[in-house]
Amino acid sequence: MSEKYKICGNAEVRIDDQVFTLPVFEGSEGERAIDIRKLRSETGLITLDSGYMNTGSCTSNITFLDGEKSVLHYRGYSIEDLADQCSFVEVAYLLIHSKLPTNVELDGFKRQLNDHSILHEDMIHFFDRFPPAASPMSILSSMVNSLHNFYPEMDDPLETLNITAARLLSKVRTIAAFSYKKSNGYPLVYPRFNLSYCANFLNMMFDSPVRPYLINDVVVDALNKLLILHGDHEQNCSTATVRMVGSARVNVYASISAGINALWGPLHGGANQAVMEMLEEIHQDGGNYRKFIEKAKDPDDPFRLVGFGHRVYKSHDPRCRIIKKACDDVLKSLQMEDDPLLAIAKELEEVALSDEYFIERRLYPNVDFYSGIIYRAIGIPTNMFTVMFALGRLPGWIAHWEEMWKSPDARISRPRQIYTGPLLRKFVPIEERE
Ligand code: ACO
């Protein structure tokens, strides 16, 4: 076994009257796992774990997450330090290259991002062929998939991965902004070499021939933070998808396109959009947020306060402290504290945080709650929220794809199952069937 973890003990499994010994491994932060890879060959049994709630599908040295202690590290650096002191481009470099860049390396990376920011003009025709109401996520995944045709990789994709990574980070930003412009029938705004990554994106989104976009540093800073906070989150649904699809030795564009499709779901990347829809519903209903809190607390009502609670973080989501502050700064800077939906969000947050029901169950606002508010305040339409999430998650997906591809232990992903269907039946010819 090649990865950096060590055997720290054994576990015994008793099956009927036989006892089997399995090794226990420990990761660098003390997490432990029973290695069951030989379980089937030795016992004939598999493990059953629907939804992979307790299954480690790989070892990884990219992200460490401890939900109980509210810890999130990328490549060993705390999310607090990274969000406070780095740009998204620096963090993307860290995730992809495993180290923080020097000034020279960062300049080189920025140059690469600039060099690859323009789309092949033939790709721009694709936008004209989508119907006007096309989902930006479907446009994004189709366009990313088709990048493979315009920018084929070498036989050994690792040889050109540095350029492919820069291409993806830069072009996905352009595709996202173009899909917004096209869906509104506005003229396209091309990337500019003199703007930073986030400022360039905002300019492509909101600049127009009649009203030049004024770059607001507070907004740029908040966008950098949002993208950093979404950079990676270990084996979530979309990242696991990228690794799984890539394990069939599929190119990085197709693997990431699959990840984008996984992220599209309302149970995954679609949650911040759902937050805004809930706030809209409360607003339409007269702004009576207390009624919705009562509905959320009612055990007979399936309604849940979207944007509250987290599957992994049970004390608080470490990303929330950072994003809440950025949210306050943006609302203040844009003088939007009076926006009705944002006002409802603030009231909900305050009431829920002091309500026994939410306190007892350790239900805090999650990162989706605040990211939706910031995106709305800066003018990103609700149906593009998940695209923004994808933009932030890209470096994580690329890093995982590369890690999976390079690992000598990587095999094509092939989970097992327990069959619960009918036993062998006698075949009945069609004319005799009832
Ligand atoms: N509103 C009201 N009650 C809730 C909420 C909520 N948002 N979330 C959990 N609860 C209650 C449950 O009803 C349950 O109550 P009970 O003990 O009386 O039965 C208790 O809290 C525990 O709930 P679980 O579903 O067991 O918690 P779990 O950790 O499995 O769920 C989840 C986490 C799915 C995020 C949940 O909190 C939820 O549905 N939240 C709303 C949707 C949301 O915001 N999703 C985005 C998550 S962040 C992300 O994916 C990036």
Domains of the chain by residue range: 6-66, 78-265+395-406, 271-378
Q: Given the CA of residue 308, which atom of ligand 1 is nearest to it? A: 7
Give 214-271 pLDDT, tens digit per residue: 999 999 999 999 999 999 999 999 999 999 999 999 999 999 999 999 999 888 888 8
Give 47-76 pLDDT, tens digit per residue: 999 999 899 999 999 999 998 899 999 999
Q: Which CATH class name applies to 6-66?
A: mainly beta
Rounded to whole angstroms, the Cα distance separating 404 from 330 reads 38
Q: 41 pLDDT band (50/70/90 cuts)?
A: very high
Indicate the pTM of the whole model.
0.92
Handedness of CA 331, 334, 337, 343 (dihedral sign): negative
Q: Given the CA of residue 357, which atom of ligand 1 is nearest to it? A: 3
- Residues with a known catalytic role: 310, 368
For ligand 1, is residue 296 a contact (CB within 6 Å)?
yes
- When mean pLDDT is compared across 69-83, 201-215, 339-353, 370-384, the lowest value belongs to 339-353
Q: 3 pLDDT band (50/70/90 cuts)?
A: low
Cα(417) to centroid of ligand 1, in Å? 28
> Probe ligand 1: pick from 72, 235, 311, max atoms within 8 Å of CB?
311
Q: Given the CA of residue 366, which atom of ligand 1 is nearest to it? A: 48
Q: Which residues lie closer than 8 Å to 21 by C-beta, 6 or more apart?
A: 10, 11, 12
For ligand 1, is residue 307 a contact (CB within 6 Å)?
yes
Assigned token pair, 244: 């799984």
Whose Cα sits closest to atom 44 in ligand 1?
Answer: 307
- DSSP letter (8 states) at residue 130: S
Whose Cα sits closest to atom 9 in ligand 1?
Answer: 309
Among candidates 225, 226, 242, 223, which has minimal Cα distance to 234? 242
The answer to whether 6-66 and 271-378 have equal CATH topology is no
Rounded to whole angstroms, the Cα distance separating 151 from 23 reads 44
Q: Are 274 and 382 in contact (CB under 8 A)?
A: no
For ligand 1, is residue 309 a contact (CB within 6 Å)?
yes
Cα(400) to centroid of ligand 1, in Å? 28
For ligand 1, is residue 305 a contact (CB within 6 Å)?
yes
Select 78-265+395-406's CATH number: 3.20.20.70, 3.30.830.10, 1.10.580.10, 3.90.550.10. 1.10.580.10
271-378 carries CATH number 1.20.59.20? no
Question: What number is the average pLDDT over the span 303-324?
Answer: 87
Q: Are 106 and 73 in contact (CB under 8 A)?
A: no
